[in-house]
């Protein structure tokens, strides 16, 4: 069995959330600071948010493993499945809301990602108990879509 495809499943969900938070905070710093000491840009950080969020969605589906237990092929299949589900959600929301995101600033999309992260962290800290919530999975999907929107805007 290959450890490469599933070693991330050993991370607990809050650890993945914290990794996404680090990426979002780095983006915020890049947006606010004129000088950079590391030669990385926002794009790679938004891609990281997408990847970590999909890992979290997979973990919500499969649970946490103490040892790597998913072959590379299954990991890729699960990744593709969650990306397709999230893309479909984005298309449905775009249909209902229009493409208002196209008129947004990338920094506003970063704010929305940070807001979703704070909500996920609150749900995790309360062991999943919430009075009102659309669920952790919906928050991860929203973060993916906001990151995709940011990448599109940055390439236009």
pLDDT tens-digit profile of 40-72? 789 999 999 999 999 999 988 988 777 777 888
Domain-embedded: residue 90: yes
CA-wise closest residue to 21 among 92, 88, 121: 121
User: Residue range 97-122: average pLDDT?
Assistant: 94
Domain-embedded: residue 83: yes
Domain-embedded: residue 32: yes
Domain-embedded: residue 2: no
Locate 34 and state its tokens: 């004129």
pLDDT of residue 132: 60
CA-wise closest residue to 145 among 59, 39, 57: 57
pLDDT of residue 13: 84
Instruction: Report how many domains make up the chain.
Output: 1
Helix axes 136-155, 42-62, angle to 10 degrees: 160
How does the average pLDDT of the chain come out, rounded? Answer: 87
Range of the domain at 65: 7-155
In terms of average pLDDT, the best of 5-14, 15-24, 94-103 is: 15-24
């Amino acid at each position: 069995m290959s450890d490469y495809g599933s070693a991330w499943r050993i991370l607990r969900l809050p650890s993945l959330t914290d990794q996404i938070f680090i990426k979002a905070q780095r983006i915020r710093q890049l947006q606010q600071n004129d000088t950079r000491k590391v030669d990385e840009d926002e794009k790679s950080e938004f891609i990281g948010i997408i990847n970590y969020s999909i890992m979290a969605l997979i973990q919500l589906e499969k649970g946490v493993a103490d040892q790597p237990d998913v072959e590379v092929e299954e990991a890729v299949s699960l990744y593709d499945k969650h990306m397709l589900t999230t893309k479909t959600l984005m298309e449905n929301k775009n249909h209902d809301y229009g493409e208002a995101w196209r008129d947004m600033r990338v920094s506003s999309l970063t704010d929305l990602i940070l807001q979703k992260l704070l909500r996920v962290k609150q749900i995790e800290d309360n062991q999943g108990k919430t009075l009102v919530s659309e669920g952790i999975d919906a928050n991860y999907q929203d973060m993916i879509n906001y990151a995709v929107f940011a990448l599109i805007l940055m390439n236009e």
